[in-house]
Structure 1
Amino acid sequence: MRYFAELAWIGGRVERDVALEVDAGLFTAVTPGSAPDGTRLRGLVLPGLANAHSHAFHRALRGRTHGDRGSFWTWRELMYEVAGRLDPDSYYTLARAVYGEMALAGITCVGEFHYLHHGPDGTPYADPNEMGHALIRAARDAGIRITLLDTLYLTSSVDGSPLEGVQRRFGDGDLDGWLTRTAELRDSDHARIGAALHSVRAVPARFLSGLAGRAPLHIHLSEQRGENEQCQAAHGCSPTELLHRHGVLGPGTTAVHATHLSDGDIKVLGGTRTGVCLCPTTERDLADGIGPGRALADAGSPLSLGSDSHAVIDLFEEARGVELDERLATERRGHFSVAELVTAATAHTALGWDDAGEIAVGKRADLVAVSRDSVRTAGADPDGVVYAATAADVTHVMTDGRMIVEDGRHTGFDVAAALREALS
């Protein structure tokens, strides 16, 4: 298959008149400065976007949590209500629709931070991984790849309090129970099996080293000041320091949020080359705070992006949020280059897909065409599209050489109708 991109993001910059050849799901030729040949892709063509942090079922809360001021913790109670209602069939229906929405937004791979493991009272299903298999199937049917970050979740607080209520469906009893269950999960062409520690609230310190060295490994880190205070009281250190003591940090690990960090925490994360996934729209929606993205990147932590609670599914908004939130915090502009923001938005390595995230020979043939003619993008410089575009400007999306979005519509199903059905 041959394609011709008027403008394409190649090697960290915009190139013109790029001929692309695709075979067996891979880019086999990428040639800037070419004569038009093959299917024309208008606008700016980017590598496929990677949503490194998702809780698919949180999509059911969009627009339904703003009735009073509340807090992160009151929002969590509403989230637990949704978590308590889902079964494998309804979770598949919801996740397929959510992943379809991601596809329309240019996302070709998702990291699903998965902890809805068992029945509502904690009783395992006949297939103890039935909920995880529902997510893997949903991603396949929506046309995107998935890294299932199967999550260890054992306690309700840093002091080791047991799981209660709907939380019981999150837990496997102990580390051995989790290891036994997850040993049955398998990679496939469109799925990778990763791991996650929910947080230092949910995993006792004695179990942390049991996941050291796994990759990809993700963990919620210092999203709330209360987590830091509880960890300090229980362990005499910050959550970052606790993870470091137990060998959890390193290049295969991604810390999600990392909002409330000390200078020492930033140095440890960067020095161990631990990745950091920022989720600006969720952190904004929940009033979590603004994380030190620039300081983390300067210290050595690779950045990735996630839509987390799906208050918005738009990686352009997440990318520019990284820069714009820094501007609010510092009252200065120009913290990140466009190239840095695109790298964060396409960071498939955080999800274990080292062969994706670039338009380059030998890489998976993922691409996203973004209109430069909409009311939002008209007149913007080519690389300024990152600051102007929204998910609504995505016209075409290819995953592994297969076009899953054409002219702004999913080629497999009506995503809006699927969302209405799942959320009714």
Structure 2
Amino acid sequence: MFFLSVRLDNVYMFRDFFLDFTMARKSSHFLAKHDALFEGSKIYVRKKLLILGANASGKTTFGRILCAIQNYLVGREMGTQINLLEKRYDQTKPGMFQVDFAIGEYAYRMRCVYDERGVKTEGLKVVKIFPSYTNKVLCKRLDDADYVTEYERPVNAPVPTILGKTGMVSSLLLRQENETYLTKFRDGIQFSYIFSDFASTQSSLHLQESVERLNHILPKIDNSVERIVSLKSEDSKLISHSYVIVFKNGQQMTIPDGDLNRADRTRLSHGTYEALQFLDFLTNVKNNPEMVAFIDEQLAHLHAELEAYLIMKALLVQRNGQIFCTTHNPELLDLNIAPQMVLLFRRTEDGFNEALYVSDRIKKNDRGFKGYYDNDFFGVLPDYSVLDKYFEED
């Protein structure tokens, strides 16, 4: 699956929001050489995105919304962590999301309107994508197409609940007559999201890297580490995935079954834990090349140069799926990335979130666009001068 565009209204702090992931023309940048929707297609999609923004500008929230939408598209109930019903800005009005996405040579548009009782109306459009289509042609085809299936909630419909709370699940996709679409979506939609504030509540975090690679990587990240040793069973028929981290002072830390959340996390620095978590996620990205991957500020406690190095490694992975990386660190703009790969989030004066691509303001592949960012050419840097009076001496 590829996100082609997302439209939001009255969802969190997004009001009349629209973001297009397609590009009008092919980029010559080496990181964008596989950005055609499929081989021979004239539709080009941003498959690698670096997302920057100040605190509360909407980066993490946008990731949560994308995650909620993908769960919705495969017929899952939105759980307590991400429940869009509770996140309508104006509680007296419905929320709405509309997503255009592609699976193989077909494009889909799903529109959903919901209120405090759950899904109110839904509609699905389907268009075959021909190699001659540009992104503008495809968008017009979707605009002009009729809905192949629709849903409107009956007046006396029961309210779905999740753990005692009003829940949200697609009524349209769970209809028996739409089983073909749901099967298509479940087969074609893979995703993995890792959020900074969800990290400590993950049920498990298994190291997938080999001991050899961990021995090359971890001591460079944390110089208190001497080596990593794999625990082996005396019974040759039993396979063990447990490790021991040996520190230079002689102390040891066991990682049962390779699960970091079952180890003594206080023994590792926050930055080291983040780096291991990032490496685990990166391995998952490599092993699932069609997956949508969203990495939310996972390296905030690392040195800026190491964060930039690891993010670049993630962007260099040869894969077909989309990958989103969020950060607060403007030093990442010094990486060799194209302006159309950088998405900036900001808050408007009335408090709503909006986004723009660097390429919206810079029309050439100018690698010096960090200077534009530092001088607030894009208008995304927060103004803290209003706080000066609170720190001035009496």
Under a length normalisation based on structure 2, what TM-score does the superposition of the two structures give? 0.30
Under a length normalisation based on structure 1, what TM-score does the superposition of the two structures give? 0.28
Please identify which structure carries the higher helix content: 1
The structure with more radius of gyration: 2
